[in-house]
Structure 1
C-alpha cells in the first residue's frame, strides 16, 4: 500500500497553516478541550512539528492570539479612499480596530488564565500590539503638527487601554451595541487630539 506523502512547504507557510488550524479549534472549543494531537490532525502535520514551531500548547495559543491582534505591517492603517479630514481618518482607525477585535473572536478572553499561562501572558502581547499600533498612528495619521508627539504617544497609549474596556462592554457585557461603542471611541479619540493633549501641553508649561 502506498504511503501518503506530506507536502513539503516553506517554513513560513507551514507555520501559517498550523496557526490557521489552531485558530479554528481555539475559537470553536474551550482551551482545555483543544489538544496538540487535534491541531496536528487538522493541520495535516506531526505533533513533533508543532513542538518544533511553538514548543507547547501554551506557545501555540499565544501565537494564535498574537497573530489575531496585530495589524500586518503591509496592511494600510488608513483605507484607500478615506478623506483627508482628521475626523474621517480617526473614524477609519476606529473601524479598523473594531473589525480586528471581531476577527479575533475574543481569543484572549476565552483562554486566558488556564493551561499553564496567565492573563499576564496575553496582556504582554496586547501591550506590544498596542505600542506598534500607536507608532503607526503617529506616523500615518495626519495629526496637527503643533501637537507634542511625546504627549500624543502617551495619550494614545492611554486611549488604547480605554478601548479594551469599551470592547469588553461591547462584546462581553453586551451593554453597548457596536454602533454605540464605535461612536464612543471615535468621540474619545477626537477628544485626545482636540482637548486632552492640548491640556497636557498647558500643564507642562504651568
Structure 2
C-alpha cells in the first residue's frame, strides 16, 4: 500500500493462518528505517484503516529513532509522530509486535510497543531495545570517565569500546527487556510465524 510514498516504512495486507492481517514494518535500507513525517502519517493512516475494518496489525520493528533535521522539526515531526502514537493507542484490534533489530527511544514506543498496548510483544535474540544505541549512549553516560582517561593519558578508544560492550551486554539486549516485562518472549526468527499464529488465535 502506498509503495511510492515514505519508503522507510512498509505497510500492506497479508494472510497468516488464513486470516487477513495488516503489516507495518520499518525498511532499514531507506533512512536506516528512521521514522520521518511522511512515514509517521503513512503508518498512522494504515493502522487506523486496519482498526476500522477489524484487521489485526502485525508490526515488525527495526527503528533507530526519528529522522533528525531542522526541516523535520520545522514541519512538525512531533505532531506527526504523535498521530502514529495515537493510532496504535486507540486501535482496538489485535496488535502483535516483533522486534527484529533496533528499537530505540521514542520511535520504538510509537511502533506498537508494549507501552502502547500491544497484545503480544516478541523479540528476536538480535533485538536491541534501549533509549539509544551503545555508541551514542556511552558518550553521554560515561563522559566524565572518558575525559578523566584522556587526562591521564589512558587509551580512550579502548575504554570506549569496553564501555560500549558493557552497555550492550547489560542494557540493550532483549533479555533485560523481557525480564522487566516489556517483551513477552525472546524467540528465534524461525519460530516467528508460529508465535504470530498462536497470538492471532487468542
User: Which TM-score bucket, shorter chain as reference?
Assistant: 0.3 to 0.5
With structure 1 as the length reference, what TM-score do the two structures score? 0.33
Structure (1 or 2) with the greater helix fraction: 1
With structure 2 as the length reference, what TM-score do the two structures score? 0.33
Structure (1 or 2) with the greater strand fraction: 2
For the pair shown, the structure with the greater C-alpha radius of gyration is: 1
